[in-house]
Chains A and B, each alone.
Chain A
Amino acid sequence: MADTLQKTPPTAAPAAAKLEAPPAAARFRFLTDRWLAGLFISPALALLVFLSIWPLIRLIWLSFTDYSVTRDVPASFIGFENYADVLTSPVVRERALTTMIFVVGAVGLQTVLGFAIAFLISRRIKGRGALTTLFLIPMMLSPVVVGLFWKFMLDVQFGVVNSFLDSLGFGRVEWLTQQRLALLSLIVVDTWQWTPFIMLIALAGLTAVPKYLYEAAEIDRASEWFKFRRITFPLVWPLLLIAVMFRAIEAFRLFDLVYILTGGGPGGTTETLSFNVYKVAFFGFDTGRASAYGILMVIVVIIATNIYLRYLNRLQER
């Protein structure tokens, strides 16, 4: 004991036994956390590069050339000529206007109807799930199938809609062959198919509104309109705006319904920008010009989405 006390305390901690990795781990010592992370994301990254980034870079390059995919002639660099052609084309301006009318009309109608349906469903206790599923059916169908059966239904001579109207004495209506009605028909068919999307998101928003807010309002004897205006709508609005953004982007690149229902007619008056890009790309295969056209459309979407998102963020900050 005394011996022990007389000893001078150690000045440094005893050297720890050297830790040795098990044989398997030693073999992969070079695999640091950073490398491992890279390894795990590399398959997804490779897919992204080859399916999205590489085509995008090539698209950008082609947009500055006179390249045509069917001609055995190498691409020649022509600067911004394709962009200037697209931006100064009166046809593109007309198609942009048509697209704008379609986007505003279709998305506006879908928002009003989608929210109204969601609001009504949210107030119903019984059969809510079944009703929601029923309303979602149009969204699950292929746009080509939707276009085809609406085309048959709206046909002036052979369609069921006109037969019904005729039997009621209203006469037959040129849904798809009269300039203004054809665009309206596109809006109606798109609304039929995509209103459920807005409804679904609005329903999610409505379900998430805390019940205590309504209870507090009821204690204060607030009217239904007041509760809707001051509680329901402000809380659902940001979520609804996200749905509107998704739908607007989708509507902006509308192609399939136009292709099937009207073919861009009558006289090209229902041609949207996407349909026009298709024509530039595949009628004569002006690949360079079509690439520039496509890129300009992407730029428009990116700018519009950014402005929209800033507004959305400001709204949420309030």
Chain B
Amino acid sequence: MKGRLQVSAAIAVAAAALTVAACGGDDGGGGGDTTAAKDATSKLSDKPMELTFLWFEWPPAQALEELGKEYTKTRPNVTVKVNTVPNPQWHDAIFTQFAARKTNFDLPILDSQNIGEAVENGSILDLTDFVKENIDTSVYDPYFLAAYGQYPQNTTGQPEPDAKTYGLPLLGDTWSLIWRKDLMGEEPPATFEDMLAAAKKCQDENKGMSGLAFHQAGTGDAAAVTYNVVNALYGGELWDQKERKIEGIINNEAGHKAMDVLVNKMVPLAPKGSSNWFIDEVNAAISQGKVCVGMQWIAAMGGLLDPASSELGETREEILEKLAFAPIPPQETDKVPLGGMGLHVSRYIPEEKQAEALNFIKWFQTPEAQKKWAQLGGVPARNDVLSSPEFLETQPYNEVFTESVPRLKDFWNLPEYAKLLNVHSTQVNAAISGTQDPKAALDKLAADEQAILDESGE
């Protein structure tokens, strides 16, 4: 009996200790504001070092690692490594490490919309002073600086003089229109609806081909960006930032018109069963000659001109005889989506690594590095490089980006972005795939997103 009592007492003590440990924890973590980076480059170390990036798997990631070899020429003790994960795991891979307050990457490459979440959680360095002292911001389109690095982002996309900077542009991007000029002619369509009409005509005239390939998947931001593009082209807005209002804004008349165009005009032109398509599937459909028109992120278009994966020709020149590129045509407005990502520095790495990461950012913004980046297939952000021959002559579609810069428009970059995006993508995909009526899907999207905003604002 005594023994049993002893065992029970021991278990009770252990359980109590565990409960205290479990409940107390270290919830506070690092705490505090995002650490400011300032005179970091003076702390550079000469010890051998690997500077690690985390991105998702796509051609620019390999190009960045290649570019890293140029950086090694200036800093021989440093090697650059770009770790990649599949696109759907990209956000989780970065933010779960932020959650652990220990990262195996030094420079997380964040989608512009994820900045809010990283800043609010104190996971990336405040680069405001560093940028003031080391970077000539006048050589960038102000919207790039606002979208890829500042938080909170101004509604107009113009940077505020007092706004804090948490990153600098790594890769600019937007959608390009790709069409079969051998079937549809050389002239790009004047409006978005002209484009839809031309795609339908091409579909009707060419048996076995579909009119239009675009992103529709309910995962990532595929379907969400597609709806946002059409919504913006038809004059719609995502929200009223000042009032924090989504309901009644996104599902206003313009929003419903955009959803109607998406579901009733674009989806019938898309290949059967394409409601789970994203970047790779759209590229494959264009390369295999299955569609007349495609819409794709410029940074993901490298493979389109590769004869090894194309049925449009045996050489790059033969493929280019069939494909043409242009900016997305305007409709009620001329807005096009802002893609691309910014360079940021993890707060949870040693000081010498932070210094090296900042030095890389400083180097990366030089015209020489940006031109080399363009030659390797990256999309630079400096104005002078965007109009330089090194960029414009590298790929036939690079001009599309330079022309699109004044037309760019981004999502929200709120800390609640991941939750909002989940609702956005799911509901747009529900409308596209026919599992929900388009009007009902948009109204549910608006209501659910408003609830998320309201809950976070409580």
Please indicate which of the listed interface residues B30, B91, B274 has the most CB atoms of chain A within 10 Å of its own CB. Answer: B274
Residue of A nearest to B276 (CB): A177
B-side contacts of A282, CB under 8 Å: 91-92, 95-96, 418
> Is A299 on the interface with B (CB-CB < 8 A)?
no
Least distance between A284 CB and chain B CB atoms (Å): 4
Whether the pair B25, A265 counts as a contact (CB closer than 8 A) is: no
Indicate if the CB atoms of A266 and B273 lie closer than 8 Å.
no
Interface flag for A34 (CB, 8 Å): yes
State whether A58 touches B218 (Cβ < 8 A): no
B269 to chain A, nearest CB (A): 14
With a CB–CB cut-off of 8 A, which chain A residues contact B91?
A: 282
CB distance from B262 to the nearest CB of A (A): 14
List the count of A-B residue pairs having beta carbons below 8 Å apart: 133
Tell me, rounded to whole Å, the shortest Cβ–Cβ distance linking B111 to chain A: 14
Asked whether B88 is an interface residue with its Cβ less than 8 Å from the other chain, the reply is yes
Please report which residues of chain B, range 262-306, place their CB below 8 angstroms from some CB of chain A when the two chains form the complex.
271-276, 281, 284-285, 290
| A263–B276 touching, CB < 8 Å | yes
B23 is an interface residue with CB less than 8 A from chain A: yes
Measured in the bound complex, the distance between the Cα atoms of B430 and A250 in whole Å is 28
Are A156 and B218 neighbours in the complex by a CB distance under 8 Å? no
Within 8 A of B (CB), among A90-143: none
Contacting pair B98 A263 (CB below 8 A):
no
Asked whether, in the complex, the Cβ of B18 is within 8 Å of the Cβ of A57, the reply is yes
Instruction: Please determine whether B30 and A265 come into contact, CB atoms closer than 8 angstroms.
Output: no
B122 contacts A by Cβ under 8 Å? yes
Tell me if B103 is interfacial: C-beta within 8 Å of chain A.
no
Q: Is the CB of B117 within 8 A of A179?
A: no
Chain B: minimal CB distance from A88 (Å): 13
CA distance A162 to B434 in the complex (A): 21
A53 to B16, CA, bound (A): 12
Please tell me the size bucket of the interface on A.
35 or more
Give the segment of A63-71, A225-233, A300-308 that binds chain B.
A63-71
B28 on interface, CB distance cutoff 8 Å? yes
B27 touches A61 (CB 8 A): no
Task: Name A265's contact: one of B14, B271, B276 (CB within 8 Å).
Answer: B276
A316 to chain B, nearest CB (A): 32
Q: How far is the CB of B289 from chain A (nearest CB, A)?
A: 12
CA distance A70 to B415 in the complex (A): 11
Known: A70-B123, A75-B27, A285-B95. A265 touches B22 (CB 8 A): no
| Cβ of A262 under 8 Å from chain B | yes
> Which residue on B lies nearest to A159, using beta carbons?
B273
Interface of B: prevailing SS = helix
Q: Are B422 and A267 in contact (CB under 8 A)?
A: no
| Contacting pair B14 A49 (CB below 8 A) | yes
> Which A residues touch B217, using CB under 8 A?
263, 265
Rounded to whole Å, the gap between the CB of A53 and the closest CB of chain B is 7
Q: Would B218 and A69 count as touching, CB distance under 8 A?
A: no
- Summarize A's interface: helix, strand, loop or mixed: loop
Q: Map CB proximity to B onto A160-202 as digits: 1 under 8 Å, 0 otherwise.
A: 0010000000001011111100000000000000000000000
Chain B residue numbers with a CB within 8 Å of A69 are 99
Query: Whole-angstrom distance from the CB of B411 to the nearest CB of chain A?
Result: 15
| A269 to B430 Cα, complex, angstroms | 8
- Bound-state Cα–Cα, A75 to B28, Å: 8
**CB-CB < 8 A to A57: which residues of B?**
15, 18-19, 22
Q: How far apart are B211's CB and chain A's nearest CB, in angstroms?
A: 14
Distance in angstroms from B191 CB to nearest chain A CB is: 29
- Kindly state whether residue A149 has any CB partner on chain B within 8 Å: no
Give the shortest distance, in Å, between B213 (CB) and chain A (any CB): 10
Enumerate chain B residues within 8 angstroms of A156, measured Cβ to Cβ: 271-274
- CB within 8 Å of B: which of A35-67? 49, 53-54, 57-58, 60-61, 67
Say if the beta carbon of B219 comes within 8 Å of chain A.
yes
CB atoms of B98 and A70 under 8 A apart: yes
Known: A264-B218, A265-B433. A283 touches B3 (CB 8 A): no
Nearest Cβ distance between residue B117 and chain A, in whole angstroms?
A: 7
Chain B residues 398 to 439 lying within 8 A of chain A, measured CB to CB, are: 416, 418-419, 421-422, 426-427, 429-436
B residues near A, CB below 8 A? 3, 14-15, 18-19, 21-23, 25, 27-32, 88, 91-92, 95-96, 98-99, 117, 120-123, 217-219, 271-276, 281, 284-285, 290, 416, 418-419, 421-422, 426-427, 429-436, 441, 452
In the complex, the 5 A-B pairs of residues with the closest C-beta atoms, listed nearest first: A156-B273, A267-B430, A266-B433, A58-B22, A267-B435
**Can you give 26 contacting A-B residue pairs, CB < 8 Å?**
A49-B18, A54-B18, A54-B21, A54-B22, A61-B19, A69-B99, A72-B28, A72-B29, A72-B122, A157-B271, A157-B272, A157-B285, A172-B273, A174-B273, A179-B435, A265-B275, A265-B276, A265-B433, A266-B430, A267-B427, A267-B431, A268-B426, A269-B435, A279-B422, A282-B91, A285-B99
Given contacts A72-B121, A267-B441, 17 further A-B contacts (CB under 8 A): A34-B3, A49-B14, A53-B18, A58-B23, A70-B99, A74-B27, A156-B273, A156-B274, A158-B284, A176-B276, A177-B273, A178-B433, A179-B433, A265-B219, A266-B432, A266-B433, A268-B430
Binding site for B on A (CB under 8 A): 34, 49, 53-54, 57-58, 60-61, 67, 69-75, 155-158, 162, 172, 174-179, 262-269, 279, 282-285
